[in-house]
């Protein structure tokens, strides 16, 4: 375990981004396996193309964004005291949450070459954001207060696993507007 931690600390960017991406893609696999939410009408099994699209969005946007975002938040509001943690959580929910939810829905729609890449976003953003404020405020408070900055992105990936399962499942729901 010490050897793994040493490698992690020696290569924090690569470790965090790859770890986050693996967890993000795992969320889609879990969602498909447990909740049966494959977007492929033809296949009863795992839609690996869907998982690849989720991994692509996770790698190209979420993992990289979160790595740099969390570093920036730490520079802006350093420390783990109540004031710093509260400030980080508030800024995170006002800035990062809308961006990451939007990137999820719009990114997947673009990769699927949907005619209207904003359709899922319009229908599901508000529901996702409201659920996210409750979930992420708590999880990010733990992250900012207890996790060393070098490991925050991969920790975020671990807690994002649950929320991404929710987003993948919500995305597979019928096209009606959710509130």
Other C-beta atoms lying within 10 Å of the C-beta of residue 168: 24
| pLDDT score at 13 | 86
Report the predicted TM-score, pTM, of the whole model to 2 decimal places.
0.84
Cα→Cα distances 112→83, 166, 178, Å: 42, 19, 21
Q: What is the pLDDT of residue 111?
A: 97
Nearest to 108 by CA among 64, 69, 58: 58
Measure the CA–CA gap between 42 and 132, rounded to whole angstroms.
Answer: 32
Q: What is the pLDDT of residue 176?
A: 44
DSSP reduced 3-state for 11: coil
Given this model, what pLDDT does residue 175 score? 53
Sign of CA dihedral 83, 9, 138, 61: positive
Please tell me the predicted confidence (pLDDT) of residue 49.
94
Give pLDDT, residue 155: 87
DSSP 72-106: HHHHHS-SSSHHHHHHHHHHIIIIIHHHHHHHHHH
Average pLDDT per 10 consecutive residues for the chain, totaling 179 residues: 75 84 90 70 75 94 92 94 96 97 96 96 96 94 92 86 89 61
Instruction: Give the C-alpha separation, 179 to 177, whole Å.
Output: 7
32 is written with which tokens?
């498909």
């Amino acid at each position: 375990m010490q050897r793994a931690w040493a490698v992690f600390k020696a290569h924090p960017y690569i470790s965090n981004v790859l770890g986050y991406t693996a967890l993000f893609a795992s969320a889609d696999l879990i969602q498909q396996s447990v909740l049966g939410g494959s977007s492929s009408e033809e296949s009863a099994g795992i839609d690996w193309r869907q998982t690849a699209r989720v991994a692509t969005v996770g790698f190209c946007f979420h993992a990289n964004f979160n790595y740099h975002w969390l570093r920036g938040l730490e520079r802006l509001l350093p420390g783990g005291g109540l004031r710093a943690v509260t400030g980080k959580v508030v800024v995170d929910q006002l800035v990062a949450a809308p961006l990451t939810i939007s990137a999820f829905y719009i990114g997947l729609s673009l990769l699927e070459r949907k005619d209207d890449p904003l359709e899922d976003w319009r229908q599901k953003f508000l529901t996702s954001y409201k659920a996210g404020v409750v979930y992420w405020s708590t999880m990010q408070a733990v992250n900012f207060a207890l996790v060393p900055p070098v490991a925050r992105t991969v920790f975020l990936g671990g807690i994002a696993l649950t929320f991404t399962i929710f987003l993948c499942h919500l995305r597979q729901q019928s096209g009606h507007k959710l509130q």
